[in-house]
Amino acid sequence: MHQTRPVTRRSLLAGAGALAVGAAGLGGVAQARPSSLAAGPRRHPPLWRQAWRKGIVFGSSIATWQLDDDYPALHAREAGLLFTEDDLLWYQLKPTPDAELNFGPGDQIIGFAEQNRQLVIAAHLAWDEGFGEGWSEDDLWGLSAPEARELLYGVIRSEVAHYRGRADGWIVANEVTDPEEADRHGFRTNVPWYQTIGPSYIAESFHIAQDEDPDALRIINEFGFETVNEWGDRPGPRRRAYLRAIDRLLAQGVPVQAVGIQGHLLADRFADRFHENGYRAFLREIADRGLPILVTELDVLDDGLPTDAAERDRMVADVYRRYLDVTLDDEAVKVVVAFGLTDRYTWLEEDMPREDGTPRRPLAFDADLRRKPAARAISRAFEHAPCREPLWTPPKAGYS
């Protein structure tokens, strides 16, 4: 039987920062158990190993609530990197304004990564979501500038110091740019931290991360660069806003070290909507700034695809193939992180169910942890990618 959740992930993540109060919080978290690296079909080498042959690190997000009886073994086998999906967000870390910091879930998920010799990307330090129902709108938007600085910077400083030396990278600033609701440098203005502190909150977050964990990579992260997305946003303006914001930070001497591209792909007419040359040029513009690129939250929204699971799986795999063949051609792309490995646990099913009522199938393995055509497409993309200088070495590379 699959583990179920009483509330959706997005209802918790929205919180007061996005002007929406979520549903009831989670109860206790599952306890991690030792994971077998031998899990899964022997005839298929793990995805992380196939990526590593080309100098690419492959990983996946996971959260403590997903540590059920069998998925941890699959994650440990296939992923050379763990991306903290939920456990360092404020609904876990600081669920109410008066709460002391709770490092329990974060300790557990990072301990799981260490147990399985996985790299860690810790997410997110400065974001306008992830608060949960324990925060009201006024708790964030009603702060004075000194109060907001004390709150945000205090949490970031304590969090990064707590995990110093245990995270290989930090998503320092997540979803802080926009082409419309933004200032002239591309920074979103419809964010509580911008309204209370001003745009300097982004730079200061990077400086704090550098001070408290100088050896961890400092990443800015954003979405919406591939095609027109499900909200109608066009990729061109979003790319330009992101580059303007990055240029502004670099010009100010802010210690941004890497660029994250979330990679939430929309399957509907992907082949027609994904303009390869424009995307290649966008990646090259980032690389020309001397910054490595990480694909951080890769999945495929299977809207516009047939109900039949086999046909849909084939079409989802084709989206992965088209996207990764282009993206991995650029040797500045060093890391690929799936936003989960199994359809059993996907935010797309929770928050955007299909109109036909059939389960979403956006990931590499199905709900029963069986390998899908998407996994084969990802594998082949790594096989065909050019070799590159790696950003990191997965710890398990020396053990298997």
pLDDT at position 13 is 55
pLDDT > 70? residue 4: no
pLDDT at position 233 is 84
Per-residue pLDDT averaged across 217-242, rounded? 93
The residue among 210, 223, 242, 62 whose CA lies nearest residue 125 is: 210
Per-residue pLDDT averaged across 338-346, rounded? 98
pLDDT digits (tens, 9 = 90+) for 99-117: 999 999 999 999 999 999 9
Are 94 and 107 a contacting pair, CB within 8 Å? no
Cα end-to-end span (Å), the chain: 31
Are 188 and 177 a contacting pair, CB within 8 Å? yes
Please give the model's pTM, rounded to 2 decimal places: 0.91
Percent of the chain with pLDDT over 70: 89
pLDDT at position 14 is 53
CB hemisphere CA count around 50 (13 angstroms): 19
Percent of the chain with pLDDT over 90: 87
pLDDT at position 229 is 78
Map out the domains of the chain as residue ranges: 9-398
Confidence band (pLDDT; 50, 70, 90) for 21? very low
pLDDT digits (tens, 9 = 90+) for 46-94: 999 999 999 999 999 999 999 999 999 999 999 999 999 999 999 999 9
The residue among 46, 96, 150 whose CA lies nearest residue 399 is: 46
pLDDT at position 400 is 57
pLDDT digits (tens, 9 = 90+) for 154-179: 999 999 999 999 999 999 999 999 99
How many whole angstroms separate alpha carbon 172 and alpha carbon 128? Answer: 12
How many whole angstroms separate alpha carbon 237 and alpha carbon 178? Answer: 8
* Four-residue CA torsion sign, 33, 38, 43, 48: positive
pLDDT digits (tens, 9 = 90+) for 255-294: 999 999 999 999 999 999 999 999 999 999 999 999 999 9
Average pLDDT, the chain: 91
pLDDT > 60? residue 23: no
Q: Which two tokens stand for residue 232?
A: 């109608």
State the CATH architecture for 9-398: Alpha-Beta Barrel (3.20)
pLDDT at position 84 is 98
pLDDT digits (tens, 9 = 90+) for 30-40: 333 333 333 44
pLDDT at position 15 is 57
pLDDT digits (tens, 9 = 90+) for 353-389: 999 999 999 999 999 999 999 999 999 999 999 999 9
How many whole angstroms separate alpha carbon 174 and alpha carbon 264? Answer: 14
